Homo-oligomer: A and B are copies of this chain.
Amino acid sequence: MWPDRHDAIATVCLSGTLEDKLAAAAGAGFAGIELFEPDLLNSVLPPSEVRRRCAGLGLSIDLYQPFRDLDSTDPERFTANLRRAEHKFAVMEALGADTLLVCSSVAQDAVADDDRLAEQLHALAERAGARGLRIAYEALAWGRHVHTYQRSWRVVARAGHPALGLCLDSFHILSRGSDPAGIAAIPGEKLFFLQLADAPHLSMDVLQWSRHHRLFPGQGSFDLPAFLRPVLAAGYRGPLSLEVFNDVFRQADPAGTAVDARRSLLALAEATAAGGAGTDPVAVPAPELGGYAFVELTAGSSAAATLADTLSALGFAHTGRHRSKPVDRWEQGAARILVNARGGEPSIGAIGVESEDPPTSALRAERLLAPILPRHHGPAEADLSAIAAPDGTSLFLCRTNAPEAGGWTGDFVPTGMAAATGIGVTGVDHVGLTQPFDHFDEAALFYRAVLGLRPGEPGEFAAPYGLIRGRAVNDERRRTRIALTVSLLRRGDWAPRVTDPQYVALRTDDVVTAARAARAAGAALLAIPDNYYADLEARLGLPAELLERLRAAGVLYDTDGDGAYLQVCTELLGGRLFLQLVQRVGDYDGYGWPDAPVRMAAHRRHRIALAGAEVAQPLA
């Protein structure tokens, strides 16, 4: 992007009052806003005071929006619409906003004839220009007559007024499948404004799609870099402005949403520059990740003892104790689990990821607005960089056994026990993290932008207590995988904790043997219903002997076209935490989601049995 890139955000992207929104936008480092009219109307701040406050926060008001249904086949109504516009011009003068967004009309009386429409836009532009203001005309995807940028440009060109130009919105253009390449041929000075939004591919009414499901760039399925390049090639140098209508963002803390939004622009600018357009504001490529240095489980002291027993039964060796903290290190194969006894409800507190260059990973994270965690370490202990993921999990950037940066094993005093082969766990396959409702789309972008992981396609499954959406991120070589899930609707009072689990999946080459050994050593593995295996037989016709081995070991078995995924789970180890032994056969690349409902029901059953009840109670 060009050096003085100006990042802006429409106030409609954010939740709260105008004051909340301005504070959030400024806090995330935006330089400007689009002021969405209802946000002004709801506010007691007079326009002049909004201007003053924005200036104090370092925000310009780049666009006032929207003005709807200007043109009319009814001359009297058109005159009334011009009068209405004059009112808005006066507001804009007080705001210090020089550009008004005018949407293509959706009304019955919209003008179909290009000449007449150009004439009416010219009349408006003449009035705007007299006040030093500009009109940015936008083709809504569902405009009555004008719904492509090609047509809006034809009309604007025909009007030929210096105060009249185009507003381009990636959603309106990409949702209709229009090719943005033609934008490059439009003179840059006629591109007055650029609105950016991503969206998932959905097969639904485009207006509803636009009003409820837009996302920030990089969170959906549109190719935003490919959209942005012809706009830059045309010579556009105005604000890069986000205009995202999203049901979740509308109700989430705006400070977090604004950071998520700004991060999406930084990542978009980087990706666009990678195609040869402009300069890269991040300028720090993500170092390659090489899997898990460790996963840290936190728990109160009695639950920590349960965790220790379980790890022991799963074949882990207690190999170290932290020099200054109540943290034990357990190892098996390449899997390292830390148990921190200073926690509360058992959960995954921290993840150590192997970076080939931890300081560079940390620098990139900082440039991409990841919250940098304060460092607490004793003398002679490692100075590890750590950042907070959107769900609050700490991510440590490690280079295990490195003497310079990222080394951490020296912080542990060896117990004398060595990591053994145990029951055959070879490493950590992935970590499963249920996301807070408001942070699911943010999380996928976070891992992608900050750590350079790749989000997979979103999935959905029906669990006993409601629908769950899932999306995984992984590095190219599949050494670092994180499975993100979220309840599709925020859970009601009825739903139990089994719907928001956290787990560590441990890789084995033979899960049946591993499970058998773990069970023999006293691990509390989850009982799977016989009904599940009867269906497996019906569906897949597995050899009877294999089926019996799966059944006896309580292994869940999923297949896709490329292979199979075998998993066995422990009971919940207090709270919402469990461990999983997994085996990937062939090129299976998923996370066993089709079997998650069986697992959740089994966890729930176990909880109910512990409570001595037959039927679930709310909040149990």
Q: Are B438 and A41 in contact (CB under 8 A)?
A: no
A601 to B465, CA, bound (A): 34
0/1 interface trace, chain A 333-371, chain B, CB 8 Å (1 if under): 000000000000000000000000000000000000000
Stretch at the interface among A183-191, A203-211, A372-380, A511-519: A203-211
Among candidates B17, B437, B601, residue contacting A601 with C-beta atoms closer than 8 Å: B17
Q: Is A4 positioned at the interface, with any CB of B under 8 Å from its CB?
A: no
Q: Are A466 and B541 in contact (CB under 8 A)?
A: no
Contacting residues, chain B, for A2 (C-beta < 8 A): none
Q: Is A527 positioned at the interface, with any CB of B under 8 Å from its CB?
A: yes
Among candidates B23, B38, B467, residue contacting A597 with C-beta atoms closer than 8 Å: B38
Interface set, chain A 532-563, CB cutoff 8 A to B: 532, 534-535, 537-539, 541
Q: Are A531 and B41 in contact (CB under 8 A)?
A: yes
| Chain B: minimal CB distance from A237 (Å) | 32
Q: Are B615 and A87 in contact (CB under 8 A)?
A: no
A492 to B203, CA, bound (A): 28
Q: Are A44 and B527 in contact (CB under 8 A)?
A: yes
0/1 interface trace, chain A 408-448, chain B, CB 8 Å (1 if under): 00000000000000000000000000000110000000000
| Given A42-B529, A531-B47, CB of A253 within 8 Å of CB of B494 | yes
Q: How many copies does the complex hold?
A: 2
Contacting residues, chain B, for A438 (C-beta < 8 A): 492, 494
Contacting residues, chain B, for A601 (C-beta < 8 A): 17, 42-43
| Given A16-B464, A489-B251, CB of A41 within 8 Å of CB of B84 | no
Contacting residues, chain B, for A323 (C-beta < 8 A): none
Q: Are B541 and A80 in contact (CB under 8 A)?
A: yes
Q: Is A5 positioned at the interface, with any CB of B under 8 Å from its CB?
A: no
| Given A464-B16, A465-B16, A467-B250, CB of A203 within 8 Å of CB of B205 | yes
Q: Which residue of B lies closest to A37 (CB)?
A: B535
Q: Which residue of B lies closest to A539 (CB)?
A: B84
A44, A83, A438, A618 — most chain B CB neighbours (10 Å):
A44
Q: Is A322 positioned at the interface, with any CB of B under 8 Å from its CB?
A: no
Among candidates B17, B23, B537, B597, residue contacting A605 with C-beta atoms closer than 8 Å: B17
Q: Is A303 positioned at the interface, with any CB of B under 8 Å from its CB?
A: no
Q: Are A247 and B41 in contact (CB under 8 A)?
A: no
Q: Are B466 and A84 in contact (CB under 8 A)?
A: no
Q: Are B538 and A42 in contact (CB under 8 A)?
A: no
Contacting residues, chain B, for A618 (C-beta < 8 A): 253
Q: Which residue of B lies closest to A40 (CB)?
A: B531
| Chain B: minimal CB distance from A156 (Å) | 24
0/1 interface trace, chain A 238-264, chain B, CB 8 Å (1 if under): 000000000110111110000000000
Among candidates B250, B252, B605, residue contacting A462 with C-beta atoms closer than 8 Å: B250
Q: Are A492 and B437 in contact (CB under 8 A)?
A: yes
0/1 interface trace, chain A 461-499, chain B, CB 8 Å (1 if under): 010111100000000000000000001111111110000
A369 to B533, CA, bound (A): 40
Q: Is A598 positioned at the interface, with any CB of B under 8 Å from its CB?
A: yes
A residues contacting B by CB (< 8 A) are 12, 15-17, 19-20, 23, 37-38, 40-47, 80, 83-84, 87-88, 91, 202-205, 208, 212, 247-248, 250-254, 437-438, 462, 464-467, 487-495, 527, 529-532, 534-535, 537-539, 541, 597-598, 601-602, 604-605, 614-616, 618
Q: A42-B602, A203-B205 are in contact. List 20 more A-B contacts (CB 8 A).
A: A15-B494, A17-B464, A20-B615, A23-B615, A42-B464, A42-B598, A43-B529, A44-B605, A45-B531, A46-B530, A47-B531, A203-B204, A212-B467, A247-B488, A247-B489, A252-B494, A254-B494, A437-B489, A437-B492, A490-B492
20 cross-chain CB contacts under 8 A: A15-B465, A17-B601, A23-B615, A40-B531, A41-B598, A42-B464, A42-B602, A45-B529, A45-B531, A84-B539, A87-B537, A203-B208, A204-B204, A247-B488, A247-B489, A248-B489, A250-B466, A254-B494, A437-B492, A489-B490
